[in-house]
Amino acid sequence: MDVNNYVSDTALTDLYPAHVATIKSRHDSALERAGAGHAVIFSGAPHGVFLDDYNYPFKANPHFVSWLPLTNTPFCYLVYTPGEKPVLIYYQEKDYWHVSPAKPEGYWPDQFDIRIVHNLDDIAGHLPESLDKCIFIGEVNEDAHAFGIERINPMTALNVLHFERGSKTHYELECMRSASRRGVLGHRAAARAFDAGKSEFDIHLDYCRAVGHPENDLPYGNIVALNENGAVLHYQHQDTDKPAAIRSFLIDAGARVHGYASDITRTYAKRDGEFSELIQRFDQLQRELVAEVKVGLDFASLHLLCHQKIADLLLEIDVAKGSAEALIESGVTSAFYPHGLGHLLGIQVHDVGGHSGDDSGTLIEPPDGHPFLRLTRLLEADQVITIEPGLYVIDMLLDELNGAPAEKMLNQKRIDWLRPYGGIRIEDNVRILADGCENFTRDAFSA
């Protein structure tokens, strides 16, 4: 399906030049920091399957995609020299086994000096003459792909690029709004498939059809979980058989537009009753967290507030007893909610730079006891992040509380009630604003 169904090329034609100007200026700083004169950014090489002659699905270098919307063009190079038009060495292999990349077209080629090459040997002729002034950015699995450039992925430069990628340009924000709209088409189709009683695999197929993504183009593997499977945080299977009884459905699935991702989770109950009421209650909890988001907020503190809210909820639904503080301190909330509240989102679903305190490599570690929190930095304007509280019955983690004071705070009867439903996660993608946020996901669901 044509991605232009989700965002108009006209809108992007207006926004893209300013995006490229921002990316250039970030690279100016990165090159200065690295004491280098040129950045050579590799799109990547396919990874071959052991003992065979086909490849794993290609995943482009996100640094390359930050310049231009090419997600499926291996062996291309973007060469940037401050003050000059960036050069795109565009590799169109003459290959009758595969389809070669299309002629560059659309809103983006005007920004580049495009050199089409048909042989890998012709690439070196388009690189800067003084390779010792170059830095190479990308994954190198064969030395030949770096053409003799010795400074590969210097952290001085990457720290700048990773930190600055946190805040999105207006072009990126428009792509990400569209990625949410695209993902929501899939979520609606998946909810219908769940209502119709379909298997995980058939729900997944309906999702892919509705977003128009072949599986390999999804930003991450769909999590399509019926019943207890919802308690597996990154549940990776899609069962082709329907369970004998269907009670609940957790779907964590996204979409991409021009390389930018959405990352959306919803949870559904098969029938009205206590579990569907709990989902409503959890939705309210998630909205309360979203309402806290604004420029200057320390995200780690919001994650800790979420633990407070989960503790209150566990008491309210009688799954645990005691005080909220004791539930947090003894590890009960972490057993029911063992992941972080959210992460930066962009070209990568877990975008880089979530722990960056500045552009020179200072790291902000997650708070003690919360190793999986991927975002610890202060929120800044136009960052796009996820807000994704969860609540699950994970026996592996609850078993670890056996024999500890926490065990006595658990109400096993109520846990037995909740276990067959797996868990609940609700995940929105939001853009940080001075006094709040723009919720791409809720906006798309209510359109």
Two structure tokens written together for 76: 């291309």
Size of the site for ligand GLY (CB under 6 A): 6
**Residue 220 contacts ligand GLY per CB under 6 A:** yes
**Residue 252 contacts Mn ion per CB under 5 A:** yes
Closer to Mn ion at the Cβ: 30 or 424?
A: 424
- Residue 172 is inside which H or E element, if any? helix 170-195
Among Mn ion, ligand GLY, none, residue 417 binds (CB under 5-8 Å by kind)? none
The CB-of-426 to ligand GLY minimum distance in angstroms stands at 11
CA gap 73, 102 in Å, rounded = 9
Please list the residues that pair with 424 across neighbouring strands.
Answer: 391
Task: Count CB atoms within 10 A of the CB of residue 331.
Answer: 17
Q: Is 190 helix (H, G, I), strand (E, B) or coil?
A: helix
Two structure tokens written together for 106: 């659309």
**Residue 263 contacts Mn ion per CB under 5 A:** yes
Q: Cα dist. 91→78, 119, 127 in Å?
A: 11, 7, 14
CA gap 319, 127 in Å, rounded = 63
Closer to ligand GLY at the Cβ: 233 or 317?
A: 233
**Residue 172 contacts Mn ion per CB under 5 A:** no
Closer to ligand GLY at the Cβ: 326 or 349?
A: 349
Q: Which stretch binds Mn ion (CB under 5 A): 170-178, 231-239, 328-336, 379-387?
A: 379-387
> Which one of 164, 202, 206, 252 is in contact with ligand GLY (CB under 6 A)?
252
Q: Which residues contact 297 (CB under 8 A, 6 or more apart)?
A: 378, 379
Q: Cα dist. 399→279, 370, 393, 396, 418 in Å?
A: 25, 19, 11, 5, 16
Nearest residue by C-beta to ligand GLY?
252
The CB-of-265 to ligand GLY minimum distance in angstroms stands at 6
Under rule CB under 6 A, which residues in 378-437 are in contact with ligand GLY? Answer: 388, 427
> Which one of 164, 174, 263, 359 is in contact with ligand GLY (CB under 6 A)?
263
Among Mn ion, ligand GLY, none, residue 220 binds (CB under 5-8 Å by kind)? ligand GLY
The CB-of-440 to ligand GLY minimum distance in angstroms stands at 14
Among ligand GLY, Mn ion, none, residue 58 binds (CB under 5-8 Å by kind)? none
**Do the beta carbons of residue 391 and residue 343 sit within 8 Å?**
no
Two structure tokens written together for 40: 């050579």
**Do the beta carbons of residue 261 and residue 181 sit within 8 Å?**
no
Q: What is the DSSP letter of 250?
A: E
**Residue 351 contacts Mn ion per CB under 5 A:** no
Closer to Mn ion at the Cβ: 222 or 333?
A: 222
* Residues near ligand GLY, by CB under 6 A: 220, 252, 263, 349, 388, 427
Which residues lie near Mn ion (CB under 5 A)?
Answer: 252, 263, 265, 386, 427
